[in-house]
Structure 1
Amino acid sequence: MISILTIDDDLHILNLVEVTLKEAGYHTYKSTNGTEALALLEDKTIDLAIVDVMMPGMDGYTLTRRIRELYDIPVILLTAKGELYDKEQGFTAGTDDYIVKPFEPKELIFRVQAVLRRYDQPSQHVIQLQDVKIDRKNYEVQIGKQHLLMPLKEFELLALLASRPNQVFQREDLIEKIWGFDFEGDERTVNVHIKRIRERLGAITSSLKIVTVRGVGYKLEVIS
């Protein structure tokens, strides 16, 4: 399930966006300031950020630039300003789209869907890390000239970790992303799949390493 983080110091807007996104089938996180948002981004797996421009402390333009520096996710700026100069600032900061308040909930969903489609182009399906090539469209893993056959869940787990090298994924986030919210198993399932992936990769390459972050989850490191 796609996870979206909304950052806005207006609790009414924050709750409206949350309800709208949940009704459209998205998993949501929310924050009232930029510092808290960056902590959430470090801790959770986020697919898109909706950022309010006018916030105390760190404004939306600054937060957008920070997100762009640290993460490969799209950003939509949400603001009461509609002047061309303000839009220019937003796009210069790195936003993918710009929504002016007040807005219709349906417009928000249309724009979210459009931005996510742009990020889901075929080029994004292929992950290349050292000698390991992961094709998420064809479910193939190629290491050098060898092709590695993997069960679906193992492949999806590897692809998710590889999509954001060095980012720590919590076990519960991995369960939600790979098995879904209605999964009745527990964290041991993730541990078993990670063990099998390590064995498969270790037999062929030393370029990638899945590291256990004690008490939290896992991250994938690229060995140079």
Structure 2
Amino acid sequence: MTTSHNKIKTQTKAEITDSDTHMFTVHVTVTEQGTGKPVTKGKVTIKSKKGKIIGTGKIKEGTADITASITNKNYKLTIIYEGTEHTYDESVTKIDFQKEYLFYKTSSYLWIVIIAALIIIVYTIGLYTLLITAYPQSQLAHTLSSIIPYVAVSNTTMQHFYLANLHYLQFFVNILIWILIISFITAGVYATQFNSNFHNIIRKNVTNHSVFQHFFGLIIVILMIITIITVIIA
């Protein structure tokens, strides 16, 4: 009977060598520990962060290429060479880029919040411009025209449009735009420092979140609520 103590110790290495928007490929290399000779047989299993098997393959001349579909939690993979009954011992390695995933997840949330804020600001300015223009004599229009930014027309001979009451909002908008620009540049620089094949997996995992899938729907709901409240007040 062959025990694990009598088996040849092995070491496993793995890297993601290819990816697209749906699939990724893991190249696995299994060698004998100490000699570096390629392992000739055995099975390799890839598990997700939650322990679900997402791919399997057979070792041939020390290597195996395993293709799997991109699903949630693919940023932390466990690659297990299962060994053989009599010859080779089991070995395990990991592919872990969770910190890169969390960086882009946080950045993406920041981006959609800023974009949503800018959309809401532009819509609100347009909405209140219509209200102030349509009901210039109303008390609400008078109040809004003194505090809310809106598109006004100058009373000069050559009429032109300009944004009134923008002084306090402009600083806030500028900050949002600069944060957006700087974070985009930072994300681009950071992305060059790790395996480019991680990008598709990270992007798919991030965009799988419901907030991103329903972004435009949520924006429309918010704009509708703003419109309804404005109409009721008016």
The interval holding the TM-score normalised by the smaller chain is: under 0.3
Q: TM-score under structure 1 normalisation?
A: 0.23
Report the TM-score, using the length of structure 2 for normalisation. 0.22
